[in-house]
Amino acid sequence: MKKAGIPQFDYDSFKQSYDSNIDLQNLVQFDPDGVTVGIDSMDKVDAPADKKGDSVGTMAKRATDLSDL
């Protein structure tokens, strides 16, 4: 995992992160036996706000706009 650039956790370092991060506490259950991802935990994650509306539609219009050729 070191080569992948993903942080490694042991019990103590994960516990410290878990105790200090309320978002992590909402996503997983953590006890000495291990970590359990909540079944509905992804429902609790806020989706990024779409600021421009239909971004796929906008990209498709730009891709097919031949007026400037």
Per-residue model confidence (pLDDT) at position 3: 67
Tokens, residue 67: 């007026």
Q: Is residue 67 part of a domain?
A: no
Query: % helix / strand / coil in the chain, to the nearest 5?
Result: 45, 10, 45
Q: Is residue 48 part of a domain?
A: no
Q: Is residue 55 part of a domain?
A: no
Q: Is residue 30 part of a domain?
A: yes
- pLDDT per residue over 14-69, tens digit each? 889 889 998 888 888 888 888 888 766 566 566 666 565 677 888 888 888 878 76
Q: Is residue 3 part of a domain?
A: no
**39-48 long-range contacts, CB within 8 A, separation 24+:** none
Count of domains observed in the chain? 1
Q: Is residue 22 part of a domain?
A: yes
Q: Is residue 36 part of a domain?
A: yes
Per-residue model confidence (pLDDT) at position 20: 92
Q: Which domain holds residue 12?
A: 8-41
Q: Is the pTM of this model over 0.85?
A: no
